[in-house]
Amino acid sequence: MKLDYTSHKLIKSTPRFLTTPVDICQLLVTHRLILCQLIRRDILSRYRKSYLGILWALLTPMLTFVVYSYVFSNILRVRFASPVPNIEYPYGIILFSGIMLHLFLTEVLNRSPVLVLENVNFVKKVVFPLEILSLVAIGSAMVPLSLNYIILVGAIFLFNGTVQPTIMLVPLAWIPFFAVVVGISWILSSLGVFLRDIVHLIGLFSTLLLFGSTILFPTHNMPDFLKTLILLNPLSIPVHATRNLALWGVIPNLKYLAIYTGFAVMFLWFSAFWFTRTKKGFADVI
């Protein structure tokens, strides 16, 4: 999908280099009008010619949920132990609390390698902050994620008759995860310009992230080295925090969350450095 960007009044000078998280926040503030306009246009163009429209944002995760829930719950008989007495959830709700984050990440991963290639006019003809292309993709993917979050709250209420007050903290626990996703998108979008084959590896990478996380099955019976590898998965800590806050009403492991946040900040800085350096060669390659 090619974005149309013509309003010269919205163009502002691109930052020299996103050296700190403050600079990245400044990028968002400075180009907020451009960002909102492009996200809105991206969402409308995606569902404009489909019969069901934005309902696909609900149907896709629901169909995925039904398939995985049936296979892992009824055939493989996977069960998650409750860390809180007298609170038990069906496997489907526990699965959905994690799968929605994977669907969000997968959507961003699939779009990132071609973001620059689909918007060549921004590279060659317009003084445009190319960094926000990834933010447009992420902002667009947040729409179905937000709808899935609402569905999760509704499912918890229908099953349990109430919701945990800590469920309101879930979006805050996602902030480091969003930072990691932005970094991944910046790296993939720049690599996609120079290595066109990378788009064919995204499906495999996404599958590895799914089965190498705590989304589908618990880890309490796994060897210690596998538990360590799973913790390195960028999905594991956010999924763990989501389930603790939304389902069980307990505070997640703050030590792991702090380490994850520190890694997210460093990774975001590195990916900003990477994108800023590599984008100088986009025009020559394209």
Average pLDDT over residues 142-160: 89
Q: Percentage of the chain with pLDDT > 90?
A: 38
Could you please report the per-residue DSSP string of 232-261? Answer: TSTTHHHHHHHHIIIII-----HHHHHHHH
Check whether 9 has a pLDDT greater than 70: no
Looking at 2-6, 137-141, 194-198, 250-254, which range is the least confident one?
Answer: 2-6
pLDDT confidence of 245, banded at 50, 70, 90? Answer: very high
More confident: 190 or 11: 190
Check whether 111 has a pLDDT greater than 90: yes
pLDDT confidence of 19, banded at 50, 70, 90? Answer: low
Check whether 13 has a pLDDT greater than 70: no
Check whether 222 has a pLDDT greater than 90: no
pLDDT confidence of 76, banded at 50, 70, 90? Answer: low
Nearest to 240 by CA among 214, 202, 203: 214
Q: How many Cα atoms sit within 13 Å of 247 on the Cβ side? A: 26
Give the per-residue pLDDT at 49: 66
Mean pLDDT of the chain: 83
Nearest to 259 by CA among 242, 235, 229, 237: 237
Average pLDDT over residues 15-40: 71
Give the per-residue pLDDT at 174: 96
Give the per-residue pLDDT at 246: 94
Check whether 6 has a pLDDT greater than 70: no
Q: Are 268 and 185 in contact (CB under 8 A)?
A: no
Q: Are 153 and 160 in contact (CB under 8 A)?
A: no
Q: What pTM was computed for the model?
A: 0.85
Nearest to 89 by CA among 156, 154, 170, 152: 156
Looking at 99-108, 124-133, 167-176, which range is the least confident one?
Answer: 124-133
